[in-house]
């Protein structure tokens, strides 16, 4: 769903639903644009390049960061927003379909940013929308913009992604950001991915098959503590209570909690990421460790990367 391979900016006027369509050049373009946005924010706070453009944020599921950072991104670039964080005060409640909803918002807005509980729903919505749609999370499917933020954060710290060892821990069965990040990491031939999950919530077969097809080096561990001294990036995830039965939640909740003792085993030059919200899976005493980027750099990078995507999608000469 991106433009032709030889286009300079394949994002222009296109929807962004999955990382599977990205090339290394696309990712480099987003990172370069995100750097431009960082400088713009630091020096001037923003500009008017998207004046008279409107973003409709249609969130059928709750969000703090994705919703707010897209709103902030659009406003910092001079655009306007239709901000719907929850659809309970729209005609969705009267039974209006997703297909009709996106057709309608295509008349009001230049770009739609959508979150929905059903995997595949955003790809379906794209078929009916007359304007580009950005996937802000489709159930246990993908969260492609979060993966770009995470990769950008890693690249910024290490100056590279290829060759790094990335450990993903937690409820990987239901965690769309790690689905997208794992698939994105397949662009880097020498990345090493380790995964450690409670046995009831392993990474989805669809994702591990993708990694195998792309010949990504990955290994699953029942206990991640032994490999902590080797990893460059520790990526912690939340137990997604909203996507599981009460009985499954009782089995997995609290089964992994990262604390200071664990973090002490990690390399000096390593980082801890979590795309948030965090519940209890990282102890608060880890927050002040300089390697913990989840409440600071990772969040801030969300703004720059989303500004970059809006600019690339809405302006050809980006």
Decide if 18 is catalytic.
no
Q: Which of 289, 295, 299 minimizes the C-alpha distance to 262? A: 289
Answer yes or no: are the C-beta atoms of 235 and 146 closer than 8 Å.
no
| Shortest distance in whole angstroms from residue 11 CB to ligand CP | 20
DSSP string, 17-45: --GGG--HHHHHHHHHHHHHHHHHHHHTS
Residue labelled with tokens 């950072």: 69
| Shortest distance in whole angstroms from residue 23 CB to ligand CP | 24
- Residue 216 or 308 with smaller CB distance to ligand CP: 308
Decide if 176 is catalytic.
no
**Catalytic annotation, pick one of 52, 89, 94, 215:** 94
Question: Measured between alpha carbons, how far is 140 from 133 in angstroms, rounded to an integer?
Answer: 18
**Catalytic annotation, pick one of 18, 66, 101, 237:** 66
Question: Measured between alpha carbons, how far is 294 from 306 in angstroms, rounded to an integer?
Answer: 17
Decide if 306 is catalytic.
no
Question: Measured between alpha carbons, how far is 68 from 76 in angstroms, rounded to an integer?
Answer: 12
Reduce the DSSP state of residue 12 to 3 states and report it.
Answer: coil
**Catalytic annotation, pick one of 38, 143, 192, 274:** 143
- Determine the angle formed by the axes of helices 297-314 and 24-43, rounding to 10 degrees: 110
Question: Within its chain, how far is the Cα of 126 from the centroid?
Answer: 19
Q: Which residues bind ligand CP (CB under 6 A)?
A: 63-67, 143, 146, 275-277
Q: Which of 21, 86, 26 minimizes the C-alpha distance to 58? A: 86
Residue 199 CB: number of other CB atoms within 10 A? Answer: 10
- Residue 144 or 228 with smaller CB distance to ligand CP: 144
Decide if 94 is catalytic.
yes
- Residue 61 or 110 with smaller CB distance to ligand CP: 61
**Catalytic annotation, pick one of 38, 76, 115, 306:** 115
**Catalytic annotation, pick one of 33, 53, 65, 174:** 65
- Residue 142 or 311 with smaller CB distance to ligand CP: 142
- Residue 146 or 179 with smaller CB distance to ligand CP: 146
Token pair for 91: 């005609």
Decide if 90 is catalytic.
no
- Residue 103 or 300 with smaller CB distance to ligand CP: 300
Residues 308, 177, 164: CA angle, nearest 5 degrees: 85
Q: Which residues are catalytic?
A: 65-66, 94, 115, 143
């Amino acid at each position: 769903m991106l433009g032709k391979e030889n286009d300079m900016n394949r994002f222009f006027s296109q929807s962004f639903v999955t990382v599977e369509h990205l090339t290394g050049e696309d990712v480099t373009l987003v990172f370069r644009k995100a750097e431009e946005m960082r400088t713009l924010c630091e020096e001037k706070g923003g500009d008017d390049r998207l004046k008279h453009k409107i973003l409709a944020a249609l969130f059928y599921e709750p969000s703090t960061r994705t919703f707010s950072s897209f709103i902030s991104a659009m406003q910092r670039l001079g655009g306007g927003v239709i901000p719907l964080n929850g659809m309970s005060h729209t005609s969705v409640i009267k039974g209006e379909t997703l297909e009709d909803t996106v057709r309608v918002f295509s008349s009001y807005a230049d770009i739609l940013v959508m979150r929905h509980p059903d995997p595949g729903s955003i790809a379906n919505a794209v078929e009916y929308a007359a304007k580009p749609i950005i996937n802000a999370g489709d159930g246990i499917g993908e969260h492609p913009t979060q993966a770009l933020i995470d990769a950008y954060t890693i690249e910024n710290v290490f100056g590279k992604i290829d060759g790094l060892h990335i450990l993903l821990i937690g409820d990987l069965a239901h965690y769309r950001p790690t689905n997208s990040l794992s698939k994105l990491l397949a662009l880097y031939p020498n990345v090493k991915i380790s995964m450690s999950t409670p046995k009831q919530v392993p990474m989805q077969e669809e994702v591990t098959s993708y990694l195998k097809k792309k010949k990504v080096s990955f290994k699953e561990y029942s206990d991640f503590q032994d490999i902590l001294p080797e990893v460059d990036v520790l990526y912690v995830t939340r137990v997604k209570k909203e996507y599981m039965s009460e009985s499954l939640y009782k089995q997995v909740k609290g089964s992994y909690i990262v604390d200071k003792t664990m973090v002490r085993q990690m390399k000096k030059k390593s980082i801890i990421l979590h795309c948030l919200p965090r519940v209890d899976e990282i102890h608060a005493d880890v927050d002040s460790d300089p390697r913990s980027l989840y409440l600071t750099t990772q969040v801030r990078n969300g703004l720059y990367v989303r500004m970059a995507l809006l600019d690339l999608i809405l302006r050809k000469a980006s």
